[in-house]
């Protein structure tokens, strides 16, 4: 790894850490620690078990979605994809900048021979559909959100961010769908852009990588396939909201499932902001703000959000670490392999 890349990663780490500390300060401002500790101590943690079970059903659905997106490249069973998906989410939880996506692409290449470029194309498609669903969760509750914005801390700015985010995600989705439905035109457009914008010595590599990337979009070439991916994405995020609902019963609070959908959408929108590994602060502050806006006591809202965060982070990270250990891959090795493929696409 070059010195420039090392310096950039250090810079990203420290910026993320500062942002996390700011969000944690906002989350804990005005909160008495003894009240928070009392809320955490008084929770009925048996409710976490069905919540974790529902969450892993959602992870299985994620593995199925990735299997579906990769079918035009290579048919791989959902059972084979599940460990790789958990490795990716483990990587996202402990490394900055969602580096777990590169990690699972490397593992998939080692196991199944699928190029990293093709894998990353499908992973980007996943993220776009996830973003559209998250924003849909917010927009379903916009009337309620408007009512909550007066004394809701962070929530007041979410409506404007959601509008901007919708434009960005929908624009990217439309671009990807068009590239998938008209691959020859997309390839010609890429060739024109590369010839005009890319130095001659890099053109061959960029064109080869773009070809693999466009191949990874093949699963979206018909409206039926795009609809299937969208429906699966909705199911995935409803299952994750189900975990929010189960964990809620561990605490003396009660809000509607739609309120938890809103919280899920806002929290996941906020975690796209650079932060320390594990989305520290960027997950917690907006989640607490939504619950406080619904009239939940601050200490209870904070206790619930912190416990939910740990319950979302710990099981998938532990299972992913187990699978990664079984694969025998180190993180630096995975990064080096990804960089090598980018430099020498075949």
Which tens digit of pLDDT belongs to each residue from 293-307?
888 999 999 999 999
> Looking up tokens 């630096």, which residue turns up?
332
Q: What pLDDT is stored for residue 195 in this prediction?
A: 84
Note the pLDDT tens digit of each residue in 190-204.
888 888 888 877 778
Q: Closest Cα partner for 296 from 338, 243, 260? A: 260
Q: Closest Cα partner for 257 from 282, 232, 240, 236? A: 240
Q: What pLDDT is stored for residue 163 in this prediction?
A: 62
Farthest CA pair distance, the chain: 65
| Contacts with 18 (C-beta within 8 Å, 6 or more apart), sequence order | none
Q: What pLDDT is stored for residue 125 in this prediction?
A: 84
> Tokens in use for 273?
């902001």
Q: What pLDDT is stored for residue 346 in this prediction?
A: 40
Burial of 293 (0-12, 13-18, 19+ CB in 10 A): buried
**First-to-final CA distance of the chain:** 22
Q: What pLDDT is stored for residue 8 in this prediction?
A: 54
Question: For the whole model, what pTM was predicted?
Answer: 0.83
Q: Are 39 and 300 in contact (CB under 8 A)?
A: yes
| Contacts with 35 (C-beta within 8 Å, 6 or more apart), sequence order | 298, 299
Segments of the chain with pLDDT less than 70: 1-10, 97, 142, 145-167, 169, 212, 216, 330-346
Whole-angstrom distance, CA of residue 243 vs CA of residue 173: 28
């Amino acid at each position: 790894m070059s010195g420039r890349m090392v310096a950039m990663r250090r810079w990203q780490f420290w910026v993320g850490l500062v942002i996390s500390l700011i969000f944690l300060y906002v989350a804990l401002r005005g909160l008495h620690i003894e009240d928070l500790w009392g809320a955490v101590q008084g929770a009925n943690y048996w409710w976490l078990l069905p919540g974790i079970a529902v969450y892993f059903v959602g992870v299985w659905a994620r593995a199925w979605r990735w299997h579906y997106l990769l079918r035009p490249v290579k048919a791989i069973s959902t059972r084979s994809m599940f460990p790789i998906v958990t490795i990716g989410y483990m990587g996202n939880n402990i490394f900055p900048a969602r580096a777990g996506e590169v990690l699972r692409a490397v593992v998939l290449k080692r196991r199944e021979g699928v190029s990293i470029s093709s894998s990353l194309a499908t992973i980007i498609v996943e993220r776009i559909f996830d973003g559209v669903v998250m924003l849909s969760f917010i927009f379903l509750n916009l009337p309620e959100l408007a009512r909550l914005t007066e004394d809701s801390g962070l929530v007041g700015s979410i409506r404007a961010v959601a509008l901007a985010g919708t434009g960005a995600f929908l624009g990217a989705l439309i671009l990807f769908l068009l590239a998938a439905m008209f691959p020859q035109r997309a390839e010609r457009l890429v060739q024109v852009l590369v010839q005009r914008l890319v130095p001659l010595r890099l053109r061959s590599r960029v064109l080869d990588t773009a070809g693999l990337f466009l191949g990874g979009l093949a699963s979206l070439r018909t409206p039926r396939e795009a609809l299937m991916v969208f429906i699966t994405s909705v199911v995935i995020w409803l299952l994750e909201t189900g975990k929010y609902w189960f964990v809620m019963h561990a605490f003396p609070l009660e809000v509607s499932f739609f309120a938890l959908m809103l919280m899920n959408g806002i929290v996941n929108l906020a975690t796209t902001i650079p932060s320390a590994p594990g989305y520290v602060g960027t997950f917690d502050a907006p989640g607490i703000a939504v619950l406080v806006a619904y009239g939940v006591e601050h200490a209870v809202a904070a206790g619930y959000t912190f416990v939910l965060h740990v319950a979302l982070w710990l099981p998938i990270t532990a299972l992913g670490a187990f699978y990664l250990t079984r694969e025998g891959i180190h993180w630096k090795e995975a990064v080096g392999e990804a960089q090598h493929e980018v430099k020498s696409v075949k």
